[in-house]
Amino acid sequence: MSEKPLRRNERTPFFPIAVATVLPVGGSFLLDWSPTAVVLLYWLEAVTVILFYGGLAMFATPERRIEEREERRTSGRVIPPVYSENLRDVAAKTIVGLLIAVATGGSITVWGIGRGAVADSDESVIDFFAQFTVFEVPSVLAIGLFIVGTHLVTLSRYYYGTGRYRELTASMALDVQENYYALYLYFALGFVFYAVAMFFIIGLGLPASMPDSTVLTAWKVVVAGTFLALKLAFEWSRYRGERRPDIHDDDSFTANFSPTPPPEGNTI
């Protein structure tokens, strides 16, 4: 692969992504946002990245047409060509990712953190989307737009601004997409269990004479601090993995986000 895109994209800063990661938690403390608002902001972030990778795969070369990649590098086209033959696989994997996102978001907001109660049997996906009224709050909407814009600009600069998309095949883009939403799912569900466990640990560990408000604040600080540390590590791994292609033999977490060519003989 060409080294030029890699060198140029080291200039793409991680700082905006870090800011976008911290803002929802900051809003919960400084602006008293509801837990549902915070969860949906991170949900919006995940869906944005999933959709971007799906769109990227539409511009990536199908495996059966890899020989065209050199022609694309020298064609001088401003707008990349769309490969309709990628649509079936892009649609299938992207829809799976979105269904997982809706199921995960619903399980947390409708049946968990957002309401603080176990779901009734008649609750459905409609109840999940009803939670999006939180974006009627101007500050929540503004941060949501900032998060979406940050990821779209950062990813677009990396893949399209430098022509890096020409180095990808469709399956490479979709593999990164699939790894992203699978790992995000494990992270989200695992952290919910952690938050619940810490609620009981802190509640039982602090003196009974301590006010409930103090106990709740201590729990929020511990959970928020842990979340931000893990989420920043997650995003940093994705950021680095995208910029270090073909490290699939590496056992590090970062390797999950590295665009890796498929084994010979595999076609999408």
User: Domains of the chain: which residue ranges?
Assistant: 4-188
> End-to-end CA distance of the chain, in Å?
20
- Secondary structure (3-state) at 101: helix
Residue 214 banded pLDDT, cuts 50, 70, 90: confident
Span 10-51, pLDDT tens digits: 456 899 999 999 999 999 999 999 999 999 999 999 999 999
3-state secondary structure 208-262: CCCCHHHHHHHHHHHHHHHHHHHHHHHHHHHHHHHCCCCCCCCCCHHHHHCCCCC
pTM of the model: 0.84
Average pLDDT over residues 195-212: 84
Q: What is the pLDDT of residues 114-139, one digit of tens each?
A: 444 444 545 667 888 999 999 999 99
Task: Please tell me the distance from the alpha carbon of residue 250 to that of residue 265, in angstroms, as a whole number.
Answer: 22
Instruction: Based on DSSP, count helices (H) and strands (E) in the chain, helices before strands.
Output: 9, 0
pLDDT tens, residue by residue, 52-100: 999 999 988 886 655 555 555 545 555 667 888 889 999 999 999 999 9
